[in-house]
Amino acid sequence: MKRKYLSTPYIIWVIGFTILPLVTIAASAFTDNDDAFTWGNILAILEPINRQALLFSLAIAFGCTLICILLAYPAALVLKSFRLKRKGFTIFLLVLPMWMNFILRILAWQMILSKNGILNFLLGKVGIAPLALSNTWIALMIGMVYDFLPYMILPIFNAISDIDEDLIEAARDLGADSGTVFRKVIFPLSMPGMLSGIVMVFVPAMTSFVIADILGGGKLQLIGNIIEQEFVKSMNWHLGAGLSISLMLLVIVGLAFTLRNDMEERGTTIW
């Protein structure tokens, strides 16, 4: 029973940094400026401007997740085929950028994509007309994919590495061609990894605002930007908190529906 003491720091951590903030946010969300109870802040997500920002965020997050999967899956397969030493080094290279603050990396993208930036300079050298990517949703997408890609590659790679080689050999012995092996063995067994990748990419993509601020030139409005404005510029914490709670609920409900079946089947938990 003594072991219980070991969990004290975590309990303090969870209470102090998860539960208390959630309670404070909820308290602000359900009250108005005169501290009277209201549903208004929660329902504000349905107002046209907020709804539009929410849909835009959904579209961006969905696109970003899809692109990440399309890029990460082949990368994970290639990684699996590497020898151990090379594998470690490649993963090291993948993780390396994460050692640097992500805002700095996004600022670097701003430089790369800007009108007289590095990309247009290089395009000019090979005689291609400059691209007007800066401050568009495409720039936002590039930044997000760049930032979140490792969070997709690593869990998929882990899941694929864990697949027992015997299973693949058994499938081959029983006459499956490589396409069938992939469809019937590798892909289903990599699903848990992919799902945790989806959670780790979709949720931050859905709620981020800094990337949109930097690469969108203040012209793109994600739901995260609206929440930020309510907290920082408008000083309307009640509305900001209400929108945050609605967003949190939407994300939780959405993910729960998508992931529930799969988790029950496999008995793995993702989050």
Partner 1 sequence: MKKNVYAAGLLLAGIFLLGGCGKKEPEEYLTVFNYGEYMDPEVLEQFTEETGIGIKYEEALTPEELYAKYSSGAISYDLVCSADYMIQRMIQEGEAQKVDFSSMEYAGNIGDRFWEFSQAFDPQNEYALPYFYGTIGILYDTTKVDAPIDSWGVLFNGSYKNDIIMQNSQRDTFMITLKYLGYSLNTSDEGELREALDLLIRQKPDVQAYLVDEARDEVVAGNAAMAVVYSGEAYLGHEYNENLAYVVPKEGSNVWIDSWIVTRKCENLEAASKFLDFLCREDIATKNFEYIYYSTPNEAVIANMDEELRNDPAITPTEEDMENCEVCTQTDEDVVNLYNELWKELKAD
- Positions touching partner 1 (CB under 8 A) are 49, 52-53, 114-117, 132, 134-135, 217-221, 225-226, 229-230, 233-234, 236
Q: Which is nearer to partner 1, 161 or 234 (CB)?
A: 234
Q: Could you tell me the smallest distance in angstroms from the CB atom of residue 213 to partner 1?
A: 8
Q: Could you tell me the smallest distance in angstroms from the CB atom of residue 246 to partner 1?
A: 16
Q: What share of the chain is helix, strand, coil (3-state, %, to 5)?
A: 80, 0, 20
Q: Which is nearer to partner 1, 115 or 183 (CB)?
A: 115
Q: Which is nearer to partner 1, 61 or 200 (CB)?
A: 61
Q: Which is nearer to partner 1, 42 or 226 (CB)?
A: 226
CA distance 157 to 168: 16
- For residues 195 and 259, the answer to whether their CB atoms sit within 8 Å is yes
Q: Could you tell me the smallest distance in angstroms from the CB atom of residue 139 to partner 1?
A: 11
Q: Could you tell me the smallest distance in angstroms from the CB atom of residue 32 to partner 1?
A: 12
Q: Any alpha helices (H) in 127-215, and if so which ranges?
A: 137-161, 165-173, 178-181, 187-207, 210-215
Q: Could you tell me the smallest distance in angstroms from the CB atom of residue 261 to partner 1?
A: 36
Q: Which is nearer to partner 1, 50 or 65 (CB)?
A: 50
Q: Could you tell me the smallest distance in angstroms from the CB atom of residue 60 to partner 1?
A: 15
**Among candidates 189, 207, 208, 205, which has minimal Cα distance to 262?**
189
CA distance 251 to 202: 9
CA quadruple 88, 91, 95, 97: dihedral, nearest 10: 100
- For residues 135 and 217, the answer to whether their CB atoms sit within 8 Å is yes
Q: Which is nearer to partner 1, 97 or 117 (CB)?
A: 117
* Farthest CA pair distance, the chain: 72
- For residues 243 and 230, the answer to whether their CB atoms sit within 8 Å is yes
